[in-house]
Homo-oligomer: A and B are copies of this chain.
Amino acid sequence: MDKFEIEGFRFSAVGAGIKHADSDRLDLALIASERPATTVGVTTTNLVCAAPVTITRGCLQRGIAQALLINSGNANAYTGDSGLANALFLTKSVADSLGIAHELVVPMSTGVIGQPLPVDRMNAKISELTRLMNPSSFMDAASAILTTDTTPKTALVEKPLSNGPLKIAGMAKGAGMMAPNMATMLAVVLVNMSVEESYLRKVFAQANDLTFNRITVDGDTSTNDTAIIMSGGSNQSKALLDNDMDRNLFSQGLTSVCADLARQIVKDGEGATKVVEVRVFGAPDEFSAVRVSRRIAESPLVKTAFHGEDPNWGRIICAAGSAGVKFDPSKIDLWIGSVQIVKSGNLIAGEWEAQAKQEMRLPEFSISIDLKTGLAHATILTCDLSEEYVAINADYRS
């Protein structure tokens, strides 16, 4: 059995030639549940949102869906009324092919902005997608949703609950345009158990806040960001019981799936060679902690220093100082990995430089800063800024 197989859900993926008509790369995926599943999620905060996002928002508000049609290669964003009509046409086509109500189909797109969707080529593949659906093609779907990602991103958690085994499987795509409040990120999380809607909304929002909303690649916010969760897709799905222990295990499991996907997104950020945890402690409140860590995590000067494995701590403190959060620079502590560099505002005497450089040579390391003004803390995951990021994005469309 495929390890991502999850009761009640089936998958398929085809190449529809969405980006290049003559390519057979997988770029269209279908994920469907056996019965309408409790489905909630979050979408981009960008004022300019893609056509599919508008439709998705309606589904997420109703809290129920049965199929996700996801394409890469074209964002169907800023495509006006015809973009909306195209997305609706395709969801209807999927609904007809599956024999379900078209309001149960959620469209998701990622790729270039402002190009009309090749709707005929896509529609021609719908019946094939429906026919191919099976429980073990999770990885095909996870591959079909990628754009400049170099590798599929998946995560899995299993836990024994009172009512039976819990299984949570997630897939995501990321790469560039990672941002304050979500990334150009599509994430789909599937749960074998039935979880009631209001609780699912609350727990998924919390998990998002601690994971997908705490990563950054380049600080841009996409038009298409969507993270969605479907639960209880099978007629046999057991219910998540309303007891603290089960709910805690579910919430922990869900957060760990999202955190796992979020870290993979940063690791595979465009041109990224390093994952860096920017940890801020001693902040007056959590909002300020996030603000300072995000400012450091998004500073091009800090990110290029990460890339150069240069313990240029001055740039880190400089970025912190421009975050708009009040603290006393002469009191702070700063570490690169486990190497302390600044203590109570004073540079540590001695041979920390070589040790700090050593830490930065690792593919993953952390920066910690204690502002000494309060008890709140936050961590943002970021990556380095490399020549490769520029090369990828200077050429993306061509």
Binding site for B on A (CB under 8 A): 45-49, 75, 77-78, 80, 112-114, 176-177, 179-180, 218-223, 299-301, 304-305, 307-308, 310, 312-315, 317-322, 325-327, 329-330, 345-347, 385-387, 389-398
Looking at A80, A299, A301, A318, the one whose CB has the most chain B CB atoms below 10 A away is: A318
Q: Which residue of B lies closest to A224 (CB)?
A: B318
In the bound complex, how far is the Cα of B370 from the Cα of A131, in angstroms? 48
Nearest 10 Cβ contacts at the A-B interface: A113-B314, A308-B394, A48-B321, A304-B393, A387-B387, A221-B322, A47-B321, A114-B314, A218-B300, A46-B321
- Report copies per complex: 2
B389 touches A317 (CB 8 A): no
Q: A176-B301, A305-B394 are in contact. Are A112 and B321 (CB under 8 A)?
A: no
Distance in angstroms from A242 CB to nearest chain B CB is 39
Q: A252 vs B312: C-alpha distance in the bound complex, in angstroms? A: 41
Residues of B within 8 A of A301 (CB): 176-177, 218, 220, 393
Q: CA separation between A326 and B45, bound complex, in Å?
A: 12
Instruction: Decide if A78 touches B308 in the complex (CB within 8 Å).
Output: no
Task: Say whether chain A's binding surface is mostly helix, strand, loop, or mixed.
Answer: loop
Smallest CB separation, A385 vs chain B (Å): 6
Residues of B within 8 A of A176 (CB): 301
Contacts of A318 in B (CB 8 A): 46, 48, 77-78, 113, 177, 220-223
Task: State the Cβ distance, A345 to closest chain B Cβ, in Å.
Answer: 6
**Among A49, A113, A308, A322, residue most surrounded by chain B Cβ atoms (within 10 Å):** A322
For the complex with contacts A47-B322, A47-B326, 15 further pairs of A-B residues with Cβ separation under 8 Å are A45-B322, A46-B322, A47-B321, A47-B327, A48-B317, A48-B321, A113-B318, A220-B315, A221-B318, A300-B389, A304-B390, A305-B396, A308-B395, A310-B394, A312-B397
A218 to chain B, nearest CB (A): 4
A49 CA / B321 CA spacing, docked (Å): 8
Across-interface contacts of A49 in B (CB, < 8 A): 321
A218 / chain B contacts, CB cutoff of 8 Å: 299-301
